[in-house]
Chains A and B, each alone.
Chain A
Amino acid sequence: MTLPAPLENIIPTRRNFLRNTAAITLGSVGLTATDLNGAMLAQAIAATPDVSTLTRVKQVMVAPPFLPEHEQVAPGGPKIIEVTITIEEKKMVLDNEGTEVWALTFNGTVPGPMIVVHEGDYVEVTLINLATNLMEHNIDFHASTGALGGGALTKVLPGEQAVLRWKAVKSGVFVYHCAPGDVMIPYHVVHGMNGAVMVLPRSGISDGKGKNLNYDLAYYIGEQDYYIPRDDKGAFKKYETAGEDLTESLDVMRTLTPTHVVFNGKAGALTGDAAMKAKVGQTVLFIHAQANRDSRPHLIGGHGDFVWDTGSFADVPATGLETWFIRGGSAGAMMYKFRQPGVYAYVNHNLIEAALLGATAHVVVDGEWDDDLMMQVSKPGPISG
């Protein structure tokens, strides 16, 4: 479906959108608006268009911490966003010491790739379980409605695929994860099988008071808790195949004490050359997903200008926060405009988890230092007086 030209023209910013009072025909949605406002938009999203007539767009998945190419403001009416996710069971190294896990992955990465759509769009997922895998998998989208988040309709054995289409009726950031049933649900999730979906409001993200909030860059941080069994000597055990660790993993999982808490699948995955990058003056959206366990992100040296820590873009964001809270089983978003160059640490501010278990990432920010914001008045030296 393509929208008539007038709507295309007014949709770019929420401010314009709200100002416009022209009568608009909402394409195949079949609504006539005399005053385009939030309620009208909600109606358009709630409408049931003829899906067979909607434009189909293939979204190319990219590895975290990056997001697929997307528009912040929806260009036109609802579309069908097609994504393909290939499940791969693969051995991954998760720390500097060479500790291994047979990760269960969506698309070969922990976390799985982020999907970005707009409210009212349809997500059509082709879920492929490679024939070389050993386990049954599925996918439960917290952003979707019905059939256990799609989990009941997507159970695929090795060598099978399934296609699920769901409508994005809630805006915000949401977790997705594998949920094959029983003990396998947490087992798959703590072996890396989770990811996130961002459903943007059609008019973009706002501060809830009528002002549009645009970002120059966006990063997606998936936090993963691992529970790796140890041998008699206390060394982490290694296994020949995926699933071989099941019994011993469940024993460690029952302690509720992770051996590793990492960002992007591995301790140090977002540090050094792989650190996130930004420039002074740029506004960055950080999306933090944790499919299993609570977390408390904190940007050392900066703040959360706008924070949607429950993840809903329909809510008014909190402002100027030091630390925010991500509930296990959810994703949240934080927006920050960098004002000072240097290195920032983005951590889970349970500092034991940050420093000992791996939950530390870095942002390297280029630009001019601002003495007004901070200056070293005197260097460390002998105590005087």
Chain B
Amino acid sequence: MIRTGVAVLVAALVLGWVGNGHDGSFRDQMVPVKLAKNADRILLVARHEVTAASWQQCHDEGGCSYMPVVSTTTGSFPVVGVNWFDVEEYLSWANAHAGGGLRLPTLAEWRVIDRSFLHKKRPPLFMDPRLAWAANYGLETSPSGPPRVGGSFSTTPDGISDLDGNVWEWTSSCVAPRFDDTKGSRCPAYVAAGEHEANVPVFVRIPASGGCAIGTPPTHLGFRLVADY
């Protein structure tokens, strides 16, 4: 186990060093996004979601134990059907390649990255606070269809594509407001961001297509990398 890990790490470092010309040059695919108007906090954000091709490579190299069913690993189709643990494996593998620093955005960061979109906001269905549990019903939309090649949806002025697409992106923000991973508890669900924000349990790879008792499920689950500048 350790030997395999070391082998993967060594292979990754060598590949990273010689510059393998595929998805390994993670940071080259990122563009800077200002996190606050009058501050110099800059976040590097991948233009596209992580692709099925990159995931296949991670799987081939032993970094990603799970390989989702994908229609193609050519071109820049996003990988979908991956849960929180799968994504953690990918991050370890990608960071071994890139020398660290790659991570998921927080929900707050995602909202800034996404800020140029005017998501259609309709008034809540119910105003009575006792009906808060039902107030957002029907206001959430989920673009349907199979995953499309990167760039098929909108691109922000910063150059970030597909935030309004049919792939929801895992963020690193736990749905539990008081969650603190230093206390030995695990987060049960993270927010996946997209056309709306969805609470997705860490085990889920494919959100229920039939819908939930309330609310609209994300169409597909994927993710995007960011790095601190």
Partners in one complex: yes
| Most chain B CB neighbours (cut-off 10 Å) among A234, A267, A355 | A355
Residues of A within 8 A of B209 (CB): 95-97, 267, 356, 358
- Give residues 267-303 of A contacting B (CB, 8 Å): 267-268, 271-273, 275, 300
| Residues in A whose Cβ lies below 8 Å from that of B133 | 342
Interface residues on A, range: 35 or more
Q: Name the residue of chain B whose CB is nearest to the CB of A300.
A: B213
When chains A and B are docked, how far (Å) is the Cα of A360 from the Cα of B71?
28
Q: Is B69 within 8 A of A268, CB to CB?
A: no
Contact partners of A371 in chain B: CB under 8 A: 130
* A272 CA to B133 CA, complexed, in Å: 15
| A267-B126 contact, Cβ under 8 Å, with A96-B219, A233-B71, A234-B69 | no
Complex Cα distance, B128 from A235, in Å, reads 44
- A358–B216 CA distance with the chains assembled, in angstroms: 12
**A268 interface neighbour in B134, B145, B211, Cβ under 8 Å:** B211
Residue of A whose beta carbon sits closest to that of B144: A96
| A347 to B213 Cα, complex, angstroms | 9
The answer to whether A354 has its CB under 8 Å from any CB of chain B is yes
Contact with B along A349-378 (1 / 0, CB 8 A): 000011111111010100011010001100
Q: Are B71 and A235 in touch, CB under 8 angstroms? A: yes
Q: Is A130 an interface residue (CB 8 A)?
A: no
| B145 close to A355 (CB less than 8 A) | no
B208–A355 CB distance below 8 A: yes
**Is there contact, CB below 8 Å, between A98 and B146?**
yes
- What separation, in Å, do the CA atoms of A268 and B125 have in the docked complex? 19
B210 touches A267 (CB 8 A): yes
For B218, the closest partner residue in chain A by CB is A96
The B interface, classified by DSSP as helix, strand, loop or mixed, is loop
Please count how many residues in chain B sit with their CB below 8 Å of the partner chain's CB atoms.
26
A343 neighbours in B (Cβ, 8 Å): 125, 134, 137, 214
In the complex, chain A residues whose CB is within 8 Å of the CB of B219: 96-97
Taking a contact as CB atoms closer than 8 A, the residue among B126, B137, B141, B210 that contacts A360 in the complex is: B210
User: Closest CB of chain A to B62's CB: distance in Å?
Assistant: 23
Within 8 Å of chain B (Cβ to Cβ): is A345? Answer: yes
A341 in the interface (beta carbon within 8 A): yes
Nearest chain B CB to A378 CB, angstrom units: 14
**Interfacial chain A residues near B216, Cβ < 8 Å:** 271-272
Chain B residues with Cβ below 8 Å from A354 are 210
CB closest chain-A residue, reference B136: A343
Chain B residues 174 to 223 lying within 8 A of chain A, measured CB to CB, are: 178, 208-214, 216, 219
- The answer to whether the Cβ of A210 comes within 8 Å of any Cβ in the partner chain is no
B69:A358 contact, CB within 8 angstroms: no
Question: With an 8 A cutoff between CB atoms, is A382 at the interface?
Answer: yes
Q: In the bound complex, how far is the Cα of B178 from the Cα of A216, in angstroms?
A: 47
Q: Please measure, in the bound complex, the distance between the C-alpha atom of A113 and the C-alpha atom of B219, giving whole angstroms.
A: 30
Neighbouring A residues of B134 by C-beta, 8 Å? 341-343, 364
Contact B142 A96 (CB under 8 A): yes
B138: Cβ under 8 A from any A Cβ? yes
Task: Tell me if B131 is interfacial: C-beta within 8 Å of chain A.
Answer: yes
* Cβ–Cβ < 8 Å partners of B142 in chain A: 96
B126, B138, B211: the one within 8 Å of A273 (CB): B138
A233–B52 alpha-carbon span in the complex (Å): 15
Q: Complex Cα distance A364/B141, Å?
A: 17
Min CB distance, B77 to chain A, in Å? 13
Report how far A272 CA is from B136 CA in the complex, Å. 10
Q: Is the CB of A376 within 8 A of B137?
A: no
Name the A residues within 8 Å of B131 (CB-CB).
Answer: 341-342, 369
Residue pair B213, A97 in contact (C-beta under 8 Å):
no
- Which listed residue (B128, B138, B210, B212) contacts A364, Cβ 8 A? B138
User: In the complex the two chains form, is A364's CB within 8 Å of B208's CB?
Assistant: no
Q: Are A356 and B138 touching (Cβ within 8 A)?
A: no
**Chain A, residue nearest B142 (CB):** A96
Q: A233-B69, A356-B209, A364-B137 are in contact. List 14 more A-B contacts (CB 8 A).
A: A95-B209, A96-B144, A97-B144, A97-B219, A267-B211, A268-B211, A272-B216, A300-B213, A342-B131, A345-B213, A360-B210, A360-B212, A364-B138, A368-B128
Nearest first, the 5 closest Cβ-Cβ pairs linking A and B are A358-B210, A96-B144, A342-B134, A343-B134, A355-B208
Q: Pull 18 A–B residue pairs with CB atoms less than 8 Å apart, ordered by A.
A: A96-B144, A233-B71, A234-B69, A235-B69, A271-B138, A275-B138, A341-B126, A341-B134, A343-B125, A343-B137, A354-B210, A355-B211, A358-B211, A359-B210, A360-B210, A364-B125, A364-B138, A369-B130
